[in-house]
Structure 1
Amino acid sequence: MSDLRDRLGKAVFRRVAGPDGPANRARIHGTPGPRWFGPERPIRTVHGDASMFIGGLSALLLQSLHPLAMAAVSGHSGFRGDPWGRLQRTSTFLAVTTYGTASDAEEAVARVRGIHERVRGTTADGLRYHAGDPHLLGWVHAAETDSFLRAHERYGARTLSAAEYDDYVADTARVAEALGVIDPPRDREALAGCLAMYLPELRATPDARAAARFLLLHPPVPLAVRPFYGVLAANAVALLPPWARSVLRLPRIPVVEGLAIQPSGLLLTHTIRWAMTPGSRSRTE
């Protein structure tokens, strides 16, 4: 059983962190120096939990509903051609800014800002977009923060208090400001207000629906892993706000979700947590 646990944990970590994962993890955690966030901060608890697997996929679906954000992703990220590479880069960025030294976090942010500066274009409707636009960055940040928070609240190993979730939003605001977001929300109430502010701008473009089909129906995973990914995908969809599911035309079956989908998500995250925490520290950190 111990050998199975170790092999499963390594396989998941390799997928999420990539071939440089072990070296990056050692550098992130082992380099001495001041950090943006101390060990007591809620952002460390949320970002180190297996609920992030569900929250991350749900965040991608939610973020796709902004036509300009989706156009930037579709035209420049190469997520279909290299989905695992994109996941690995994103997970490394989250790990560095959450757990790494302040200097490494600042370097990671500067690198992302440089990429955002180059991502510009025009949608099929003739609308211009720029990934470095503070307003667009604000949507991406709010959708991600809300998804991670609600995933942890539903699937996390230890649910945080209302005050701690407010502190989590405040923690993520520090990273958002460094990336160029102007006045990001700093508590859960402000986060809800921020999401509501973007509602008039949101819709499911053909690119957004194509991305949802790719992520939910044609994922880049081996056939043997499809049943487990199916559980992940079903819970990511169930986590979406009702209005987002409606826009994406994703059906809601309350009885099935309550009796089967959420329990399966709890079992999946428990299994991932079991595989990736053989010691005192999560391999997802």
Structure 2
Amino acid sequence: MDSDDLGLFGPGSVTWKVHEEPILIVAGLRSLYLQALHPRAMAGVAQNSNYRTDAWGRLVRTATYVATTVYGTTAEAEQAGARLRRLHARLRATDHGTGEEFRIDDPALLRWVHVTEVESFLSTARRAGLPLSDDEVDGYYTEQRRSAALVGLDPATVPGTAAEVEAYYRAVRPELRMTREAAETALFLTAPPLPWKLSLPARLGLTLGPPRWAYLGIAGTALALLPPWARRMYGGLGLPTTELSADLTLRALRLALGAVPRRYFEGPLLQAAKERAERHAATPLAS
């Protein structure tokens, strides 16, 4: 029954191991920088999203969706996926290059968003110091095919190993480019309006207060974590020391976050999932 349902993944999954990392806040930003390089994906967002006026609300909704698919019950994950599919099915956008109208739920676009998201989660966690074997890396990608199915993708068409992800990137790179919308979105992601309480220093004339500097550091790290080919598309951010600096910064941030009590990072969905897992482990028939 739902009270003991462990969801799509469960406590023994690589997915739980990866997503318990608070450092994934950087991964989410990295995925957005990467996604912006796909002209159609970017056009779809720009023409259908209020991200400029509700950036933080959109971030919270996205984080809640991911947490629901990872930690929610099977029913909760499927309901979240169904809501997203209904939303996408209604949306259309226009390709600026061809003038063609296209569906937001085009499998090619859904696949791009899925792959960039899960690859960002995994690579960021691993570079931050989370120990993962090569088998666990492939296991994560294979598990995440279940998340891909929720948005309407055929799991068989989604990369399920690290090698398949690399091959996918090689295949899609000719379609990527720096458009005006991509550049404007990247600038917005780097310096978005802060939530009201955090933006108070700016209201007092202190335009670069501590919250802004902290966010700029996270944004700079997210950009530096991009693959070299993506950094070059953002204007040559590919110095020989870029990757090393990003890794060192990321590891230091993970250590700092590790010193903060876990309760500050564990939302209600994760807490409920852990409670279900404990009950499941305590039952006589639990394996």
So what's the TM-score if we normalise by structure 1? Answer: 0.82
2:125 to 130, 147, 152: 152
1:107 to 79, 86, 109: 79
| 1:239 paired residue number | 225
Query: Does 2:194 match 1:220?
Result: yes
Worse-matched range after superposition: 55-64 or 215-224? 215-224
1:263 to 248, 258, 261: 248
Contact 1:177 1:184 in 2 (8 A): no
Give the deviation of 1:187 after TM superposition: 1.0
Give the deviation of 1:75 after TM superposition: 1.2
Instruction: Map Cα deviations across residues 123-148 of structure 1 (whole Å, 9 max, x no partner).
Output: 33313221111111111111111111
Give the deviation of 1:61 after TM superposition: 0.5
1:79 to 44, 51, 60: 51
Where in structure 1 are there 5+ consecutive unaligned residues? Answer: 1-29
Give the deviation of 1:276 after TM superposition: 5.0
Where in structure 2 are there 5+ consecutive unaligned residues? Answer: 200-208, 271-287
Letter in 2 for 1:249: G
- Rate the CA distance shift 1:255–1:193 in 2: closer, same or farther, 3 A: closer
Name the SS for the 1:275 alignment partner: coil
What are the equivalent positions in structure 2 for 1:33-44 lying under 5 Å apart? 33-44=5-16
Name the SS for the 2:84 alignment partner: helix
2:62 to 90, 93, 100: 90
Query: Does 2:154 match 1:169?
Result: no
What is the rounded CA distance, in whole Å, between the counterparts of 1:120 and 1:245 in structure 2? 29
What is the rounded CA distance, in whole Å, between the counterparts of 2:242 and 2:165 in structure 1? 29
What are the equivalent positions in structure 2 for 1:11-30 lying under 5 Å apart? none
Contact 1:231 1:264 in 2 (8 A): no
What are the equivalent positions in structure 2 for 1:130-209 lying under 5 Å apart? 130-156=103-129, 158-182=130-154, 183-209=157-183
Contact 1:231 1:268 in 2 (8 A): no
- Rate the CA distance shift 1:193–1:104 in 2: closer, same or farther, 3 A: same
Contact 1:139 1:195 in 2 (8 A): no
Percent of pairs with identical residues: 36
Higher-helix-fraction structure: 1
What is the rounded CA distance, in whole Å, between the counterparts of 2:261 and 2:160 in structure 1? 31
What is the rounded CA distance, in whole Å, between the counterparts of 1:196 and 1:181 in structure 2? 20
Letter in 2 for 1:242: P
Letter in 2 for 1:170: T
- Rate the CA distance shift 1:132–1:58 in 2: closer, same or farther, 3 A: same
RMSD of aligned alpha carbons: 2.1
What is the rounded CA distance, in whole Å, between the counterparts of 1:43 and 1:235 in structure 2? 23
What is the rounded CA distance, in whole Å, between the counterparts of 1:210 and 1:276 in structure 2? 37
Give the deviation of 1:282 after TM superposition: 3.7
What is the rounded CA distance, in whole Å, between the counterparts of 2:170 and 2:180 in structure 1? 23
2:185 to 211, 228, 247: 211
Contact 2:89 2:105 in 1 (8 A): yes
Instruction: Map Cα deviations across residues 184-215 of structure 1 (whole Å, 9 max, x no partner).
Output: 11111111111221111111110000011111
1:253 to 218, 223, 239: 239
Paired residue total: 253
